[in-house]
Amino acid sequence: MRSLPLPPEDEAARLTARMLIEARAVHFNAAEPFTLASGRIAPTYIDCRRLLGFPRIRALLMDLLAGALIRDAGAEAFDAVAGGETAGIPFAALIAERLGLPMAYIRKKPKGYGRNARIEGRVEPGDRVLLIEDLVTDGGSKLGFVEAIREAGAQCPHTGVIFAYGIFPELGQRMDAAGVRLTHLCTWRDVLAEARAQGTADPATLAEVARFLDNPDGWTRAGA
């Protein structure tokens, strides 16, 4: 297993936010808000898939995430890595390479023919499986993948993501109830702080983003 960087958490969060902005994966638009998968309206949107097109940023972020996972769980905590369809698959492959572990991916639903498999790749009964995704909002979709891993007879004690929204209290409640620990590199508040430091958006837009982060459901209701 390669040597991995492990800066302090606040520095890793700042670096991650900076690279997300540099890769133009972060979007702010209070005038024409985005509709999220949950149905919420937001002045923010993040596209972590874009990171795949930036090899140096991609490599450093995967090094940071692998190091954070070792810090939070230990170097021998996992037997396999799994990525969720579809955004988690490439990042799971990159993390599996860094951790020296077999890799699988999980479909959102069985494919409906052949073996009718939901998990493709190597996951054995009793394995401690690390679930990797690009980001997490309120945790709902992650628990579907966790359920599939456990139905296969394996364990899923931990999930790792590049980005966590960090504004929905139900995320922590759902993860705790499911017995899954979350490791992430940064949140919207880290991105907002870095955007302010860099001046990458006008102050009025960033102020509106801050209002959304303080009360996302209220902001959605006001904009609906």
Residue 79 near residue 129 (C-beta atoms within 8 A): yes
Closest Cα partner for 81 from 146, 153, 129? Answer: 129
Q: How far is the C-alpha of 190 from the C-alpha of 199, rounded, in Å? A: 14
- The single-letter code of the amino acid at 199 is G
Q: How far is the C-alpha of 210 from the C-alpha of 198, rounded, in Å? A: 16
Query: What pLDDT does 112 receive?
Result: 63
Query: What pLDDT does 141 receive?
Result: 79
Query: What pLDDT does 1 receive?
Result: 62
CA angle, 99 as apex, 130 and 123 as ends, to 5°?
Answer: 40
3-state DSSP assignment of residue 43: coil
Q: Which residues contact 72 (CB under 8 A, 6 or more apart)?
A: 158, 181, 183
Which domains, and CATH codes, for the chain? 9-223 (3.40.50.2020)
Indicate the pTM of the whole model. Answer: 0.93
Query: What pLDDT does 223 receive?
Result: 65
pLDDT along the chain (224 residues), means of 10: 80 97 96 85 95 97 96 96 95 97 92 74 96 89 92 96 93 92 97 96 94 92 70
DSSP for 157-223, written as a single string: EEEEEEEE----HHHHHHHHHHT-EEEEEE-HHHHHHHHHHHT-S-HHHHHHHHHHHH-HHHHHHHH
